[in-house]
Amino acid sequence: MLIRLAVLASCLSHAGPSTAQPLATTRAPLAASPSDARRFHATLEATRFRALLDSEWQWNMQQSPERATAAGDHRYDDKLRDASPEAVAQREQHQRDYLRTLRHVDVDVLTGEDRISYDFALQDAQLAVDFQQYPALKTRVLSAMSGVQLGLPSMMNDFPVRTELDARHALARLKAMPRRIAQDIGWLREGKRLGWVTFKASLSRVPDQIDQLLARPLAEQPLLAPFTRLPADMPADRKAALQDEAAAVLQAQVAPAFLELRKVVVDELLPVSPDDGAMSAYPDGAEIYKLFVRGQTTLALDAKTVHEIGEAEMARVHVQIADVMKQVGFTGSYAEFADQLAHDPKSYYTSADELLAGYRDIAKRVDPQLTKLFVTLPRTPYGIRAIPAYEGPNTIEHYSPGAADASTPGWFNANVVALSSRPKWDMVDLFMHEGVPGHHLQISRAHELEQLPMFRRLAQVNAYVEGWALYAESLGDELGMYDDPYARYGFLRAQAWRAGRLVVDTGIHALGWTRAQAIDYMVDSAGLAPDDAASEVDRYYVMPGQALGYKLGELKIRELRQKAHDALGERFDLRAFNQEIIDHGALPLPVLERVIEAWIERVRSGVMLPPIADAR
């Protein structure tokens, strides 16, 4: 188009004399200038780029039906993700093609949110292609932390049923499960061939998870959950027929598929499952761990640097814990203090209902105060519920997002199975992390940013999402939630726990630590009970680098807050800062840093945009 505009301008300037003489004040209406051409090119390139992002999003929804449903896109509710080798190969080719297309975008003409989107998309696409260097990673489909034995029940438990068609889509997904499970069995066998079997401490828990899932009575079976909430206006005979068909599919097709998976785990995988699950113990593991660190933190940090950051953070937090011990008059060691609190019966609720009521009371204290921290709050509601018993006592509290279209609420999931390891003094920081102002507030706000492309509204950048949630715990200070010294200890112990993750994750995967050494460190330095520490360490083994995002993300947000405070002085507004952090969706940390630096300059210059309104 630049050439065509130039030719047009040339034609106009060399035209012969006209038979009619124009007025002296008249200018050629089609005269084009270089600035006009640049603006036209920038507009066209931005339009093309947005279309590319939308096309990529639509492709992702088609490829990931479960994610589409969770996002409120119900076009593929009757399908499950195809995990066949052929489908995986096609997705990898698409990722390579997408990266090449991104690299041909004229990034220099993109501005504002388009430039943020480009920086994010390019980093994400490059990482996906880089992971393709290591085909064995495709076989990592099962552990006690993830896999079909957890993902499929959770997906069905939250499947939206508003019409009879929805219920029939749920039935189609149920019927698709045996094929999906068989595909994962194929990947597990390939992993065995390549020397990539999940380590024993985690894999050995999977058979019991499957047993507990299948042992549940039909009325409490999460795989049948959609059929327990059929529409009220659906005729009774059709309800009964649908429920009977779903139960028959479960018993005749799905349960046998899960039992076959269990058999493969017990007979084929556990006998060769390694005792050492460190990345360094697997083929190419050292290089792969570097890639995991980059992907999970979005930062260019080596393992030794991360390890040292964790040690420094641990030392800082222990000074504050010592102040709390002094405040309550405890004169013994930190280990003795932690042990005393852990074994005090008054620290625990004795029933699931009491624990849930305790979390709901915390919510009632936090919710009215959120306007002290934010200019605009999301409208999507959240609830507090118990985790399903089959997930087991080692499952920690976690958040389930609502749909992007607000058709379903968010959920704070509380573990009521292990009451003896859920102390009251740890509940405030846990709620603020998983609920508000943590995951629920940030994720729901991102969903409502309708001016952003969908991939950013639903982005789950680990270092940002978990870093924000850990930063959100600290906002309890502004709300007076840690005035009680024991609640403050709970917050500080959570800080020590996340600092310990930097030390232990890098220790086991890159620095030669043993599992026992890692568990001891989390007990002695992070204040975790031995069983909790073991569960945590096993999580780090099967999710390399993921645990690094919490503390590194929080530290980056706190660094940016301090930078803004120092630069703006009296003009620094915590509500505006927090709003700016969450009003662009989850971002890689280097991109977030550029966003906040630009915000600081706008505040300095007095050119401030109003907060982004809720478009709903």
Same structural domain, 517 and 472: yes
Residue 410, SS3? strand
Q: What value does the mean pLDDT take over residues 351-355? A: 96
Any idea what DSSP says for residue 414?
E
pLDDT tens digits, residue range 7-64? 333 333 334 344 444 444 555 555 556 777 888 888 999 999 999 999 999 999 999 9
**Peptide bond before 235: cis, by omega within 30 degrees of 0?**
no
Examine residue 30 and state whether it is found in any structural domain, yes or no: no
Same structural domain, 113 and 199: no
Question: Which residues fall within 8 angstroms of residue 492, CB to CB, at 6 or more apart?
Answer: 317, 320, 321, 324
Question: Which residues fall within 8 angstroms of residue 469, CB to CB, at 6 or more apart?
Answer: 433, 434, 438, 439, 442, 550
Residue at a domain's end among 503, 519, 551 = 551
> Judging by DSSP bridges, how do beta strands 410-414 and 382-386 pair with one another?
parallel
Same structural domain, 365 and 296: yes
Going by pLDDT thresholds of 50, 70 and 90, the confidence category of residue 591 is very high
Examine residue 391 and state whether it is found in any structural domain, yes or no: yes
Examine residue 58 and state whether it is found in any structural domain, yes or no: yes
Same structural domain, 94 and 117: yes
- Total domain count for the chain? 3
Residue entry with tokens 């002085």: 569
Residue 217, SS3? coil
Same structural domain, 429 and 455: yes
Same structural domain, 327 and 455: yes
Examine residue 535 and state whether it is found in any structural domain, yes or no: yes
Whether 380 contacts 406, CB under 8 Å? yes
The answer to pTM > 0.85 is yes
- Long-range CB pairs of 90-93 (<8 Å, 24+ gap) are 91/63, 92/132
Same structural domain, 331 and 401: yes
State yes or no: pLDDT of 509 exceeds 80: yes
pLDDT for 393: 80
Same structural domain, 391 and 522: yes
Same structural domain, 165 and 269: yes
Examine residue 94 and state whether it is found in any structural domain, yes or no: yes
Examine residue 323 and state whether it is found in any structural domain, yes or no: yes
Examine residue 138 and state whether it is found in any structural domain, yes or no: no
pLDDT tens digits, residue range 511-528? 999 999 999 999 999 999
* Distance (Å, whole) CA 430 – CA 444: 18
Q: What value does the mean pLDDT take over residues 337-351? A: 92
* Distance (Å, whole) CA 447 – CA 378: 9
Most confident of 70-74, 411-415, 531-535: 411-415
Residue at a domain's end among 532, 551, 570 = 551
Tell me the residue range of the domain where 269 lies. Answer: 148-275
Give the 3-state DSSP-derived string for 256-268, with helices as H, strands as E and coil as C. HHHHHHHHHHHHH
Same structural domain, 259 and 297: no
Same structural domain, 112 and 213: no
